[in-house]
Amino acid sequence: MRQALRSRSIRVFTLAQFLLEVQFWFPVWLIYLRDLGFPLTTAVLADAVFRIVAVVCEFPAGVVADLLGRRRTYLVLAGGSVLTFVTITQIRGVGLLFAAWVLWGVLWAFTSGAASTYLYELCQQDELEISPARAFGLVRAVGSVSVLLSLLAAGYLYEVDPRLPFAVTAGLAGVAFLLALTLPEIRGSRVVSSLSGILRDVRGAIADIRVRRAVWLGILLLLFGWSARILFQPLALELGLSTRATGWMYGAFAAASVLGGLAAGYVGRRRGAALATAFGLILGSLVAVSQVAWLGPFVFLPVMGFGYALGTTVLEVLTNEVTPRPVRAAIVGVVTCLGGIGIAVARPGLGMLADVRSTPFAAGVWAGVGVVLVGLAVRTIRRLQPATSGGRAVTLD
């Protein structure tokens, strides 16, 4: 970890990610739209449009990222964040609402691979021998701290001015953009120059069994772990938690994610065991919530956060290692696109189950589905091979 912090590029990138990971908007976006006078149906429809746009754009955004180059794509991500959240502060009617949410969906698609591929290649070309696992663990942990602090502050900002959570997000993204201007471009970043070249290289990458296994594990973890988050707020409502207590619940989840990201930097070559542990912690947490719901907010949900952060960080490194450099962002787009399709079905279904029956019941049902998903994941984990990276050797320990 210290080695990563000795690199100026990694320090600047980590700070930029801290500024881009803030989620002041998360606890208040629905309240904001309701306070603007939009009915709940319109708000939910806007969210559905956002998710459809994000899923549809995942793979194209990855292709564009590989064509543009790493630094340019990262600047697009930071600049797009400024534009998106400034637009949200200006919403007055339905037209601008849906325009902002479409823009947000496109931005969301760019977040999938832009940061992870850039970070991995910054580690590779740095003069120091940087361990990608340690660097990813550091950035994941710092990002989780950013989420934690912004979640806790969101309500206070909203009380000052309902537009303030979104305006602050835009302002911090602007600072991140300025920081990104000082980052180096990856040497030979634009490895391909045509769409046909990208598609050809994607087909070639998918032919590699190591890439297919990494993609499959990424889809399973995203579907299983991300879908379960829809149960957080229904659980808080059923337990009668106040708004402030609900914020602390999300804070505990984010704090556990910090630890999960840090732990991922120290698994070394034991990443198969780490991935199995990650899936197992999510499954165990769902089973526990279904049986002892009152311990969920501050015991089982943080355990889930630890497991999900551990698994996603390990998989980010693994996927970058086994994927050919020209299509790293595109392959990450494949993972998020296919996982997003499943999430688009699973999340509403779990939300309806929690509403019709109860949150513990929905958690139990998803745990039942999870037995199958975890079984598929463990089968793939057992077949993982030691990965090699193009270019300079990668330090794992």
pLDDT tens figures, 46-70: 888 888 898 899 888 888 888 888 8
> How many angstroms separate the CA atoms of 104 and 330, rounded?
19
What integer is the mean pLDDT of 72-85?
A: 96
Kindly report each contact of residues 209-214 with a partner whose C-beta sits within 8 Å and lies 24 or more positions away, as own/partner: 210/322, 210/384, 210/385, 210/387, 211/319, 211/322, 211/323, 211/331, 213/380, 213/383, 213/384, 214/315, 214/318, 214/319, 214/322, 214/323
Whether this model's pTM surpasses 0.75: yes
Closest CA to 238 of 285, 282, 297: 297
Q: Are 29 and 157 in contact (CB under 8 A)?
A: no
Contact 9, 118 (CB under 8 A): no
| pLDDT tens digits, 110-137 | 887 788 999 999 998 988 888 888 899 8
Q: Which of the four pLDDT bands, split at 50, 70 and 90, describes residue 191?
A: low
Ranking 35-44, 230-239, 314-323, 380-389 by mean pLDDT, the lowest is 380-389
Q: Which range has highest mean pLDDT (72-86, 227-241, 376-390)? A: 72-86
pLDDT of amino acid 388: 45
In the predicted model, is pLDDT for residue 11 greater than 90? yes
- Report how far apart, in Å, the C-alpha atoms of 394 and of each of 120, 147, 248 are: 10, 29, 38
**Residue 19 and residue 172 in contact, taking contact as beta carbons nearer than 8 Å:** yes
Question: Which residue in 327, 336, 60 sits closest to 211, CA to CA?
Answer: 327
pLDDT at 387: 45
If one compares 371 and 41, the residue with the highest pLDDT of the two is: 371
Q: What are the structural domains, with CATH classification, of the chain?
A: 7-182 (1.20.1250.20), 204-386 (1.20.1250.20)
Tell me the H-state helices in 40-193.
40-68, 70-89, 94-111, 114-125, 132-160, 164-181
